[in-house]
């Protein structure tokens, strides 16, 4: 067999189909039921958010983000109930809600490449964040929040003066930095109210992680978030969701260095060239 450029190109793209898998058209997003009554994933205060993320005008083939979100109620966290999910929302949840085993199941879910969206209000409602080393450390001194992408600027527009209600807290800057995270939300006092991690940033192989310190930044409680028409709290919520589900490459940062295209070519083509040379030598 004669080695040709056409043969190499055909083999290259066949190889890349395996080393660069295409993202699924549907994103399965689970959430805990009964995890805070009115603020559980199936509770009334998150019903409008849930309706907005399953609206095909927002997330779907013809939507703002061309990926459909399928929401899944999870009554009890376990490896079996998490199987098949791309991401999981941890709603407003008392520290005692999850057993130690269930907390570790959610941590392992993140570490195995899946996404977590954690809504932790105060030090008594941050079990998963605390396990990950990013607990809520104090009460916020301001209800008005602003910041950067992906929370405050994204495909659903720019958000400003995002409000909090009820109980709400802050994150420690040292905790976020130690975990190689990015600050994306602060209040008027400069306290951190939200942070995020791209693929592989929290830990090698981990999925995306978002933590905000008040569930009511995305809920309809206290009249804060509105999704039809969108207000700034609604845009904030949908921009965060887009960051989690969108197939666009995450921001480059510590622990998240994309493999350069030239290296992909070397990985894919190198063995083919060697094999072709061996065949040529045998024939000669």
How far is Cα 179 from Cα 273, in angstroms, rounded to an integer? Answer: 42
Triad 256, 209, 180: Cα angle to 5°: 50
Residue 13: partners with Cβ closer than 8 Å, 6 or more residues away: none
Cα-Cα-Cα-Cα torsion 234, 238, 240, 242, nearest 10 degrees, comes to -170
pLDDT band per the 50, 70, 90 thresholds, residue 167 = confident
How far is Cα 218 from Cα 201, in angstroms, rounded to an integer? Answer: 24
Percent of the chain topping pLDDT 70: 77
Assess contact for 49 and 66: CB atoms under 8 A.
no
**What confidence tens digit (pLDDT) does each residue in 117-148 have?**
999 998 999 999 999 999 999 888 888 999 99
Please provide the distance, in angstroms rounded to a whole number, between the alpha carbons at the two ends of the chain.
11
pLDDT band per the 50, 70, 90 thresholds, residue 163 = very high
Q: Indicate if 131 and 272 belong to the same structural domain.
A: no
Q: Indicate if 99 and 195 belong to the same structural domain.
A: yes
Give residue 36's pLDDT.
57
The answer to whether the peptide bond before residue 167 is cis (omega within 30 degrees of 0) is no
CA 53 to chain centre: 14
**What confidence tens digit (pLDDT) does each residue in 57-106 have?**
999 999 999 999 999 999 999 999 999 999 999 988 889 999 999 999 99
Looking at the domain assignment, is residue 251 inside a domain?
no
Q: Indicate if 197 and 266 belong to the same structural domain.
A: no
Phi/psi of residue 106, nearest 5 degrees: -70, -35
Give residue 116's pLDDT.
97
Give residue 126's pLDDT.
94
Looking at the domain assignment, is residue 113 inside a domain?
yes
**What confidence tens digit (pLDDT) does each residue in 194-215 have?**
999 999 999 999 999 999 999 9
- 3-state DSSP call for residue 41? coil
Q: Indicate if 15 and 131 belong to the same structural domain.
A: no
Looking at the domain assignment, is residue 252 inside a domain?
no
Query: Packing angle between helix 261-283 and helix 5-19, nearest 10 degrees?
Result: 130
Looking at the domain assignment, is residue 97 inside a domain?
yes
Q: Indicate if 213 and 276 belong to the same structural domain.
A: no
Give residue 207's pLDDT.
97
pLDDT band per the 50, 70, 90 thresholds, residue 246 = confident
Give residue 5's pLDDT.
41
Per-chain mean pLDDT for the chain: 83
How many domains in the chain?
Answer: 2
Give residue 34's pLDDT.
79
Q: Indicate if 97 and 201 belong to the same structural domain.
A: yes
pLDDT band per the 50, 70, 90 thresholds, residue 35 = low
Q: Indicate if 261 and 238 belong to the same structural domain.
A: no
102 or 275, which is more confident? 102
Owning domain of residue 91: 24-246
Q: Indicate if 102 and 162 belong to the same structural domain.
A: yes
Q: Indicate if 41 and 168 belong to the same structural domain.
A: yes
Give residue 254's pLDDT.
39
Give residue 261's pLDDT.
32
Looking at the domain assignment, is residue 229 inside a domain?
yes
Give residue 13's pLDDT.
35
Looking at the domain assignment, is residue 157 inside a domain?
yes
Q: Indicate if 265 and 213 belong to the same structural domain.
A: no
Averaged over 211-238, what is the pLDDT?
A: 96
How far is Cα 184 from Cα 109, in angstroms, rounded to an integer? Answer: 23
Looking at the domain assignment, is residue 104 inside a domain?
yes
Give residue 37's pLDDT.
75
Phi/psi of residue 124, nearest 5 degrees: -95, 0
Looking at the domain assignment, is residue 31 inside a domain?
yes
Percent of the chain topping pLDDT 90: 69
The CATH number of whichever domain residue 213 belongs to comes to 3.40.50.880
Count of residues making up the chain = 284
CA 30 to chain centre: 12
For residue 279, is pLDDT > 60? no
Q: Indicate if 8 and 53 belong to the same structural domain.
A: no
Global pTM value? 0.79
Averaged over 45-49, what is the pLDDT?
A: 95
Q: Indicate if 275 and 208 belong to the same structural domain.
A: no
């Amino acid at each position: 067999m004669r080695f040709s450029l056409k043969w190499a190109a055909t083999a290259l793209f066949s190889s890349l189909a395996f080393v660069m898998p295409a993202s699924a058209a549907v994103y399965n997003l689970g959430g805990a039921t009964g995890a805070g009554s009115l603020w559980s994933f199936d509770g009334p205060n998150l019903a409008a958010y849930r309706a907005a993320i399953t609206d095909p005008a927002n997330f779907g083939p013809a939507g703002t983000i061309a990926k459909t979100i399928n929401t899944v109620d999870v009554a009890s966290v376990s490896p079996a109930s998490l199987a098949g999910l791309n991401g999981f929302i941890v709603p407003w949840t008392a520290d005692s809600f999850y057993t130690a085993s269930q907390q570790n199941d959610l941590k392992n879910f993140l570490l195995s490449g899946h996404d977590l969206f954690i809504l932790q209000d105060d030090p008594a409602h941050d079990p998963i964040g605390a396990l990950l080393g990013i607990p809520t450390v104090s009460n916020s001194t301001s209800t008005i929040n602003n910041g950067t992408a992906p929370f405050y600027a994204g495909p659903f527009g720019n958000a400003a003066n995002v409000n909090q209600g009820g109980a709400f807290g802050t994150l420690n800057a040292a905790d976020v930095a130690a975990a190689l995270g990015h600050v994306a939300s602060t209040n008027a006092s400069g306290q951190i109210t939200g942070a995020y991690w791209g693929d592989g940033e929290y830990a090698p192989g981990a999925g995306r992680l978002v933590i905000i310190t008040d569930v009511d930044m995305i809920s309809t409680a206290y009249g804060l978030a509105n999704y039809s028409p969108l207000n700034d709290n609604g845009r904030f919520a949908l921009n965060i969701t887009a960051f989690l589900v969108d197939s666009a490459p995450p921001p480059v940062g510590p622990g998240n260095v994309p493999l350069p295209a030239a290296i992909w070519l070397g990985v894919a083509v190198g063995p083919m060239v060697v094999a072709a040379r061996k065949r040529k030598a045998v024939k000669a």
